[in-house]
Amino acid sequence: MKIRHLEVADNIWKDKRIPKETKLIYSYIYSKGFERIITDINVGEIQKVVNIKNKGLRKSLELLEQLKYLIYKEYSNGMYAIKIN
């Protein structure tokens, strides 16, 4: 039996292309969606961790998707379904 630990991969912290705010967003999403296939998240949850608006969150998620860290879909205004790769 393999035991998984809740640790965000080091490669995202060392990636210079990703701003600090986006790294914090990714770590929050990773911790919420640990061992799940799809995670639902909204802007209000992220705003408790990082001061961000919906447009900034969408921009951060687009960057993470381009770098192949996750896949997201906005199914309603400010509501996202996210799959971590």
Sheet with 79-84, strands from edge to edge, namely 39-42, 79-84, 70-76
Q: Which amino acid is at 76?
A: S
* Token reading at 73: 């879909």
The span from the CA of 41 to the CA of 23, in Å, is 16
pLDDT in tens, 3-47: 455 566 778 888 889 898 888 888 888 888 877 888 889 899 889
User: Is there a contact between 46 and 25 (Cβ–Cβ < 8 Å)?
Assistant: yes
pLDDT confidence of residue 64: 92
